[in-house]
Structure formats: C-alpha cells, structure tokens
Structure 1
Amino acid sequence: MFKKLPGDQVSGLVSTTPDTAVVFRPAVVQTPAVVTIAIFVGRLIAGLVRLVWRHPVAVALAVAPVAVAWLYGWRVALVAATAPVSVVVPWALFDRDSFNVWIGWRLLAWWRLVWVYRRHWQPVMIVSGLGRHLHGRDYLPRILHVRCTSWADVVTVKMLAGQSVKDWADRLDHLAHGFGATSCRVAVARAGRLLVTFPRRDPLAVPLPAVPVPDRASVGPVEVGIREDGRPYRLALHGTHVLVAGATGAGKGSFLWSVVRGLIPAVLAGLVEIWALDPKLMELSFGRSIFGDRYAADPAACADLLDDAVKVMQERAGRFAGVRRSHIPTVEDPFVLVIVDEVAFLTAYQSDRALKQRISAALATLTTQGRAVGVGVMAALQDPRKEVMSIRNLFPDKIALRLDESEQVDMVLGDGARDRGALADLISSDPQQGAGIAYVRLESSPDPIRVRAAYVSDDDIRRMAALFAGVGEAA
C-alpha cells in the first residue's frame, strides 16, 4: 500500500481511511561527538584570530595584565598595569586629539561593536527585512568593521547575496532607530559592501562665524564653512555652476556672502569679477560697492547684465577657439561669477513674457557654454520644481538647504539623493539650529555630504564693502 522511501521506517503503519495523510520522519544521522567538538574548536579558534586581527589594541589591553600575572605574579602585573595608566591618563588629558587617533577611537569602536551593533544586529536585521529567517536559520548581513570618528560610527557591512543598495536605503529609519541614532546614511564601499554611517552627535548644531577673508588671491575652491566630519568645506566655483535651493530662512545668503567673502582678495587683484542680480533688493544690495556697476535689481537691468555676460562669454570663445580648452584667470581675462538671487522671480514669476524668455535664454546659454571660458553662474531659489527652474540640470554642483517636501530633495540633488541620506526636508526651521545647514551633491560624487555655511553678518558685509569704497575713493 505504501512505497518505502530510503531512510523511512514503514513497519507498524496503520491507516483505516484511504485519505489519511501519512507523515514520514526523515532518518536522523547521529554526528559523532569528536566531529562536533572539532567544529566547535575550529570556530572558536577562527573567532579568536578574527578578534585579534580586528581589535589588536583592545585585546592587548585585556590580555597583557592576565599574562603578566600568570608568569610573574600579581604584584608585577599590578605595577605593569599602573605604569601605562600613568602615561595614558596624562596623554588623554593634555593631548586628546592624538590620544583619540591612536587609542581612543579604537577602544570606542570596539565597545560600540560589542555593546551596540553585535548586540542588536540580529533583531534589527530581521525586523527591518534586511535579514531572513528560513527553516530555522537566520541569514544576516555581516558586520566587517566598525570605525569611530569624533561624531559618528562608520560600520562596514557585507550585504547578503542578491541585496541591493536600495534595499538598505529604503530602511534608513529602521536602522537609525534600531541602533539608537538620530539618522543614518548609506554609501557604497565596493561591490557587495556598504558604509553605514550612524551619527552620535551633530557637529553642525552651533552656528559658525564668518570665515576670515583669505590672505591671498585665489579663484580655487572657496572656504564657506565646515563639513560634518569637521573638515573645512570648500566650494568650487571656477569651471562649474552652482545651484542653491532652500526655503525662506534656510540660509541661502550664508552661501552667497561666504562665496563673495572668499573671493575678495581675487576681486581686489583683478582676477575675479562678481556680477550680482538682486531682484529682491534685499540680499545683495548691502554690497553694491563690491559689485560696482555690475549690479542690477530691476528685471530689465538684470536681463541687460545677463546679455553682457553672454557677450563676454562669446567674445572669449572666439578668441580661445583652437588656442586653449580651459580658462586661466588673468587681469585681462578674469573669472566672471554671475550671482543670481531668487532666480525664479526672473525665470518663472516674471509677468513680462518677452523679458522672461530673454533672461531664461541668457541663463541657459551661460550654463551650457560658460564653464570653459571662465564664466560661472551661482543661482539661488526657493522652489526647485521643473516648471519654476527648467535649467536646474545644467548646474553640475547643487546645494539643498532646508526644503518643504521630501520630493524636493531629489528635484535638487538628483534621483536617489534622499535615499542616500540627504534629509534636507528634516533640517530644523530654527534659525540657530538649521540656518546654513545643507546637503551638497558634487559633480564628481553621487553621495551627498552634509555641511554648514558660515553666517556673514550685516557688519561683516559692511566691512567688506568698505574695502571697495576705499579703493574707489583712491581711484
């Protein structure tokens, strides 16, 4: 009646009903104890080797006192443990930076790995859907390395086969809250490996004073603030175009004036000309003496100034054709930076249709042809929608300050930027906490970085303008 299967025991089977389901138990193979012990010992040795390889300092600090006590007695071990402490404690007190580089961050990384990440890894992975529990076994991504910086933990993770970066980007909130962080960001280290960043504190929470005016003239990257990792943030202007988008009060003026402040020595040396379009008559009017006759507020005057910039660009293109492919700033051919505040007022909200088309055409011409001949555009706007700013994709470098909607983040920084951690819609609206904070996506990298621009006060602007007023009087 029943077919005998390999390994099944069919003796004693009784079925009185033809439709009764019969369950066969698979054969159980008894593993010899020596094999089980060997597997356990092998895994133990591999784990110890991996622990020593990844955390040599922490292991040495834990093992050295025990080894000395075993070999030479507890008194010698006590002296041996006290001597390094007498050196390490003053080192940590008087030179904290070097202590953290060599010891502090390594110990913190080991502690965070053991107490935070390995402790909560399995439940967070399973609940968030990044891990799988199948047939009684957990399939989880692996933690390869934890590195601590002054503000964040950077966890290197090996993904499961078949996973994608989007799987992780869609679960940033799960990861952040699962490991007790306020936010989370994901970046690709290499194929199959991710860098998952969990901030421990916000290094950009305190507003920054204005960056000092540089000592030498340069059109190179201009320091406008700091990055989240504590390094200075330098914005490239020569050879690119920059779009700054942010809601009212987000701090667009901090970027505009920090750029002007960083270029002052080059302007005084004749290597840079700053042309300003200020349709609001509020932001750039403080520095009229800096811009000279290259300042416009009326829409018609703004259109004329843009047409002049196009003429300069075309004249240079005619001279450079067949001679050079890139621009080198000189007094004869300075770098021209066209700053447009509230560009949407000129391109979308302008009631004069002919004037609007003229301005849009000039901006499109400058952003498509101006880079190679030393004419750059830096534009600021509040609403990044395509119907408001149709040429936003012509700006290689983009800056997203606080935005009103999550969808606007990808409008400014490109598709997938918010999934990679650019949470510009969550920046605080408090001027002290959020003004000047932005996410930046550079032409050379798809991963956004978080920065804060320095605040240039009205007094700072007046002192900057006074430098040019003195030059004008001397002339």
Structure 2
Amino acid sequence: MSTTPDTAVVFRPAVVRTPAIITIIILAWRCLVGLLRLITVHPVAKVCVSGAVLLWRLAGWLPTVLVLAVLGFALVGWFTAHRASFTRWITWPLLACRRRFWIYRRHWQPVMIVSGLGRHLKGRDYLPRLVRVECNSWADRVTVKMLSGQAVKDWSDRIEHLAHGFGSMSCRIAVQRAGELTLTFPRRDPLAVPIPALPIPTTATVGPVEIGVREDGMPYRLKIHGTHVLIAGATGAGKGSYLWSTVRGLLPATAAGLVELWALDPKRMELSYGRALFGDRYAATSGECADLLEAAVSVMQDRADRFAGHQRAHTPTEKDPFVLVLVDEVAFLTAYQSDKSLRVRITSALATLTTQGRAVGVGVMAALQDPRKEVMNIRNLFPDKIALRLDESEQVDMVLGDGARDRGALADQISPDYTRGAGIGYVRLEADPDPVRVRAAYVSDSDIRTMATEFAGAGEGR
C-alpha cells in the first residue's frame, strides 16, 4: 500500500541530552585527574603539596591554614607590587605547565603519527620526545628531541601539520642544538595593530636604527651601517614604512654630518614627499638615477684609495660620513628600463656598491615588488633581506634564501588588509639564518612633511 504525502511519517533522530549532573561530574573528574597529574609530575607542585602535608602532620591543621593564608597574601602582594616579575616566575610557568599537559602531551602521539614524524612499528610507537614547554605573552616555545636519523627538513616540511595539530595559526622551527629543535606556536598576533611613527632619536648615531617592534614585543633595531638591505613586498605591503622609519631614525646623525641620505625615486611617489631631506642627492629620472649611483661609486672608490693600508673598517665622521643610498622600486631601473645603456650603467653601479661599498661606509637600501632573478639579478649581493607580503610561496625563498619558508617565514600568508598586514615582514640577517617577524612603524604623510620642515637641507652633500 502506497503512502500519500498527507499521511507520510517523518522520522527525526531523537536528541539525547546529557543530564547536567553527569556533565558536572565529568568536568570535576577531569579537573581532579589534571590536578593529580600536575602534582605527580611537576616538581614545584610536588614540593608545595608535600610541604603542606608535612606541616599538617607536624603542627596540625590550624598552623597549616595560617601558613597557606600568609603565602596567599604574599602572592597577592607580589602580584600587586611587581606584576612583571610575578608574571615571569608564576604566571608563565603555570600556563606552560597547563598547556604542556592539556595541549601538547594530550595530542602528541596522534599528531606525531599522522604527520609522519613518529613511527608505529610492531605494535610500538616511536615518538620524538617532548622536552619542555615555555610560554610568554604571545607564544609557546616547545623544545623537542628528534628521533635518531631525523633531519630538520623532516620537521620543516610539516609545519602546517604541526600548527593545526596543536591549534595554532603557524609554527616556526629553530635548531636549539644537535638533535633538538624549538617549535614556536603563536597564541595571538602581537603585531596585529599598526604602530605609529616612532619618536625621532635624541642622539646622533648610525648604529642599529629602531624602526618598529619584534613579535616578542621588543623594539626592533635594523642594522644599516656596514651592510646592504633589500626589501621585497607586493603593492601595499608597507615597503615605505621601512624606508621612512630608517630615514627618521637617522635624522639626528644626518643633521650632525655623520650621515648622508641619497635618494633614487623613479616612481616619484614615495621619496618625493621628503625631497627636502635629500637636498641635491635626489634623483627621479633614469638618467639622474644613473648619474647619482655613479657619483656614489666615485665616493666609494675615493675612500677605498685613501683607506688602503690605513684602516679596514669605516667610522662615520664629518669628513667621511656614512652614505646611505635609498632606492625605491629598484626593478624599474634594473629590469623595466627601456634604455639599455642606462640599464647597464645602473646595474653595474649597484653591483659595484653592493660588493665593495660597505667596508668604506657606503650602504644601499633597495625596495622592489618582484623578486624574480630576471628582475633583480643582484639580489644575492644584499646581505640582509626583508620579505613583506608576497604573492607566491616560492617568492619567500627567492628573497630570504633557501629554506626560509620552511623555518616559518610565511610572508605569502600575511594579510592583504592594509591595517592588519602593512609593514609586517620577516627579516633574515646575514649572521642569523632564522627569520625574525617584525612590524615597522607607519610614518604618515604629515610625519614626513614635519620631518622635511625641521631637517630641510640636512642631507645636502658636504
């Protein structure tokens, strides 16, 4: 017999609700198990519980309660009087202990097996050893002992497995010592908020220039003197923040005659805002850029002739100031220039400066959008490199060097939203293969105009 739609019976699965008392019992049981595990494993917890039990047996419950109350008030007073030290010695270790057991130890075996970093052979699991977990204000640092025969690349190839397996947005890997790695799992993004322009320094120095903030909250100081810096990033990634923050940090030294700022601005859209800062050391057309670069080469060669046999390192003085050549969109000059003779002159001058200039106090800071070899064939002559937001994952290693992305420099995953991602980048220095995530301060148009008004003419050649 057929069933008409009017008489059809719709079967719905029954919704089984767990009684509230059962839920409470389960949560209480989990808390009790976690507390017992903490007391069993953590040495500080062992000492505290053992001391309380011993005092109770020797002196009774009343002195024990009084001692615990005094300790409680002492901790509250410590927290109120000096929160930083309390956080360092109490809060972060307790958080690390909790996350070690509830996040990493709990999920360690399945994540290791599924990701291929562990092995299940003949009914036995062979897993890398979780050595310790440390926490700070923004991330977990997990130290791991690799299995014998494993390589760093085995781990760097699985950073996405590790990140999502332990509930983090990313994972960065650094070699601690032979056989040991440190995995960094961010819990939040401390660089999500734009940074306003930093105050102009009060002292004249060409040492590392403070341009922004590191991911760990510490100020980031970029080395300028004695190196060359290449900045790569897509349109709107914030390359100007690095250029102008560097200029801002060098203004007192420029006014003191210890630094000369030379600017090449082929797009006429970035460095032109502060043209008064550069004086007669500003070039916009391709011909002017070629002439200015060749003038910098002449300064470099003159110093090399005078320094030969007398000094091996440059010390900025009013006679021989540090010369910083700023180039915005260098690819326009080295690859997209239609005049072949100008392109050859510019490329030759840049190659000469980047190979010989830093020893005599001539540095180059260049910015570009496209890091491909055919666009910028001298990118490897820049010892220090900064990767802002890039369009493709392959471009990360083009800028920072092989293996940078595997170590956690996810420049291709930086948000394209201007507020959230502009100025965020990964810095890889010549002396350190591990990339550092930083955000440069945003120097607004009004900040630049104020700088140009107060320090107009400071960049004139002397």
Q: Does TM, scored on the shorter chain, surpass 0.5?
A: yes
CA distance in 1, matches of 2:404, 2:431: 14
Moved over 6 A (4+): 51-54, 470-473
Deviation by residue 1:24-62 (Cα, 9 ceiling, x = unmatched): xxxxxxxxxxxxxxxxxxxxxxxxxxx999944343344
| Match in the other structure for 1:103 | 90
1:410 and 1:231, CA in 2 relative to 1: closer, same or farther beyond 3 A? Answer: same
Q: Comparing both chains, which one has the higher relative contact order based on Cα–Cα distances under 8 Å and sequence gaps of 6 or more?
A: 2
For residues 327-366 of structure 1, the aligned pairs below 5 Å read 327-366=314-353
Shift of the alpha carbon at 1:71?
A: 3.1
Separation in 2, partners of 1:302, 1:376: 16
1:86 and 2:73 aligned? yes
Measure the CA separation in 2 of the matches of 1:58 and 1:232: 36
Superposed displacement of residue 81, structure 1: 1.7
How far 1:92 moved relative to its partner? 2.3
Q: Is the 8 A contact 2:265 2:282 kept in 1?
A: yes
The answer as to whether partners of 1:58 and 1:107 remain within 8 angstroms in 2 is no
- CA RMSD of the aligned region, Å? 1.8
Q: Is the 8 A contact 1:222 1:262 kept in 2?
A: yes
1:414 and 2:388 correspond:
no
Structure 2: how far apart are the matches of 1:369 and 1:153?
42
User: Superposition pairs for residues 350-429 of structure 1, below 5 Å?
Assistant: 350-429=337-416
Distance in structure 1 (CA, Å) of the matches to 2:449 and 2:411? 31
Counting only pairs closer than 5 Å after superposition, residues 70-149 of structure 1 correspond to structure 2 as 70-149=57-136
Task: Give a deviation string over 1:247-289, Cα, whole Å, max 9, x none.
Answer: 0000000000000000000000000000000011111011111
Alignment counterpart, residue 188 of structure 2, candidates 201, 215, 221: 201
Where do 5+ consecutive residues of structure 2 fail to align?
Answer: 1-37
Q: Choose the corresponding residue for 1:467, options 437, 445, 454.
A: 454
Counterpart of 1:453 in structure 2 is: 440
Structure label with greater radius of gyration: 1
Taking the aligned partners of 2:75 and 2:141, their CA distance within structure 1 comes to: 25
Task: Provide the C-alpha distance between the structure 2 equivalents of 1:167 and 1:272, rounded to a whole number of angstroms.
Answer: 46
- The CA distance in 2 between the partners of 1:334 and 1:62, in whole Å, is 65
Answer yes or no: is 1:321 the counterpart of 2:284. Answer: no
Q: Among residues 155, 161, 180, which one is paired with 1:174 in the alignment?
A: 161
Q: Quote the offset at 1:471 in angstroms.
A: 6.8
Determine if contact 1:57/1:103 at 8 Å carries over to the other structure. no
Identity %: 71
1:302-321 equivalences under 5 Å are: 302-321=289-308
Using a 3 Å threshold, how does the CA distance of structure 1 residues 434 and 372 change in structure 2: closer, same or farther? Answer: same
TM-superposed CA distance for 1:104, in Å, is 1.3
SS in 2 for 1:447: strand
Aligned to 1:277: 264
The aligned runs of 1:138-287 (5 Å cut-off) are 138-287=125-274
SS in 2 for 1:345: helix
Tell me how far 1:419 sits from its aligned partner: 0.2
Structure 1 residue 65: deviation in Å? 2.7
For 2:164, what is the secondary structure of its paired residue?
Answer: helix
Return closer, same or farther for 1:198/1:141 CA change in 2, 3 Å cut-off: same
Runs of at least 5 residues in structure 1 that lack an aligned partner in the other structure = 1-50
Q: 2:390 corresponds to which letter in structure 1?
A: L
Distance 2:276 2:89 in 1: 51
Q: What TM-score do you get using the length of structure 1 for normalisation? A: 0.87
Letter in 2 for 1:354: S
Write the distance in 2 (CA, Å) between the matches of 1:139 and 1:357. Answer: 58
CA distance in 2, matches of 1:472, 1:189: 44
| CA shift in 2, pair 1:274/1:200, >3 Å | same
Q: Is the 8 A contact 2:404 2:435 kept in 1?
A: yes
Hey, what's the Cα distance between the residues in 2 that align with 1:231 and 1:121?
A: 31
Number of aligned residue pairs? 424
TM-score, with structure 2 as normaliser: 0.89
